Structure 1
Amino acid sequence: MKKLILTTIVLCFVATTMSAQIRFGIKAGTNLSNLYVSGNNQSINADQYKARVSYHFGGMMEYSLSDIFAIQPELMYTNGGANLKKENSFGMSDGHITLNSLQLPVNLKASFGLGDKKMFVYGGPYLSYNMYGKAKGKINGKTEDTEIFSKSSEMKRWDYGMGIGVGMEINKLVVSLNNQIGLADINGEEGSKMKSGNISLSIGYFF
């Protein structure tokens, strides 16, 4: 009996794997990124940061679970950060913070439609590693650059969060709108928290 059950499970797994469709694609687009601050640290406050236009690009894979549902992991290079309006903890103003990260979202995707025209919604977690970043702005009237992830900085490289989005696919061409909410505190200073946020518009293509 145990052998029969085990054989049935194996056959079901093989059948599911064989019936599943895997597609690969590429995507790129523009971001509206920002840094959101909370806490009572006087050197860091929410008024210092405003949304910044940036970009992203990378690859994606779709693993079909059924006619409706699929798992879609991606590997993206993302340029994020925020604009500086007031003097921040780096002593800068009138500039921007750039965060260049490698990001891995894993989304559950539900598609609706017929043939080559589909609408879809998706959502899931993401993990991000800030490879490098800099703050560029004015210090005492002079424009200067500061490395964010230097030894003296308390900024954290690892970030994670949740994303949700909607889109349309026509003849393998994909257009999507995505909102990512950072859940990790990427600021190491006591008395305040800093989290990332990102709204992105992407165009992609499945091969």
Structure 2
Amino acid sequence: MKKLLLIAAVAVMGSSAYAQEFRFGPKAGFAMSTMKIDENQDDLGKRSMDPKYTFYIGGMAEYKINDNFGFQAELLYSPLGAKEKIDGINAGIMFVGEQTKVNLGTVLVPISAKYFITEGLSVAAGANFGVILSAKQKTVIGSDFADMEIEGESGEVDIKDDIKKLNIAPFVGVEYMFENGFFIDGRYSMGVSNLSNDGSGGKVTNSFAQIGVGFKFGGN
């Protein structure tokens, strides 16, 4: 009986060890970033937020516990942000509007749990921990006749002191990996951290969607 139990234990350990896989590799893709600003607005025109279309690049590591479950960690860089547009108002004889572009140079550390529906198809849920390395804003005043950059010679100012450094964004995603290790994935991250650091009482959040490709090395 003891021999049978020992053989069964060895068999289970062997099958578990076989099921474990470690893969790693590069990934890159396209990102659509938006920012939401909740604060009291004046009556000078209509304020709206437009997405910023940008990229991300980095690497990933995946540890598959068994045929159905695994974990994944990544290290990515992405210049996130958004565009803020105030539609034109009448200013005397001119029709004047304003557009502001916010650029957040962000290092992202997504950590997720994965469920493998099939060997190649998986879904994931986790959180993006974003460290904002740089924050810049460029404002352009537009009229019927010309556009004029403001706030400095190039129109771009450093707003790093007004932005908090950590952006936490829970996410869900889906991935399909081919037999050769090439994969495509997509996810949406919803920003929950208040990035405003100016003491005005307003709330600023950054959310983003990503779709991209990569390649995984390793595995059995």
Give unmatched runs, 5+ long, in structure 2: 1-11, 88-96, 150-154
- 1:30 maps to 2:30: yes
- The answer for the alignment partner of 1:156 in structure 2 is 164
- 1:70 maps to 2:98: no
- The answer for the alignment partner of 2:104 in structure 1 is 99
- The answer for the alignment partner of 2:134 in structure 1 is 132
2:38 aligned counterpart, secondary structure: strand
Change beyond 3 A, Cα 1:41–1:17: farther
- The answer for the alignment partner of 2:58 in structure 1 is 58
Q: How high is the sequence identity, in percent, across the aligned residues? A: 21
Q: C-alpha offsets along residues 146-201 of structure 1, whole Å, 9 cap, x if unaligned?
A: 1121xxx4221111120101121112111111000011000123231010110111
The aligned amino acid for 1:122 is A
- Counterpart selection for 1:180 from 179, 189, 200: 189
Give unmatched runs, 5+ long, in structure 1: 1-11
How much has 1:18 moved relative to structure 2? 7.8
TM-score by length of structure 1 reads: 0.79
Change beyond 3 A, Cα 1:128–1:13: farther
Say which is worse superposed, 140-149 or 192-201, in terms of deviation.
Answer: 140-149
Contact 2:169 2:207 survives alignment (8 Å): no
1:40 aligned counterpart, secondary structure: coil
Contact 1:40 1:191 survives alignment (8 Å): no
Q: C-alpha offsets along residues 76-102 of structure 1, whole Å, 9 cap, x if unaligned?
A: 101110012129xxxx93241111111
Contact 1:101 1:131 survives alignment (8 Å): yes
How many residues in Structure 1 have an aligned counterpart in Structure 2? 185
Distance 1:138 1:106 in 2: 38
Change beyond 3 A, Cα 1:62–1:138: same
Say which is worse superposed, 153-162 or 72-81, in terms of deviation.
Answer: 153-162
- The answer for the alignment partner of 1:3 in structure 2 is none
Aligned Cα root-mean-square deviation (Å) = 2.8
The aligned amino acid for 2:169 is G
Distance 2:112 2:62 in 1: 9
Contact 2:135 2:163 survives alignment (8 Å): no
How much has 1:13 moved relative to structure 2? 9.6
- 1:204 maps to 2:214: yes
The aligned amino acid for 1:125 is A
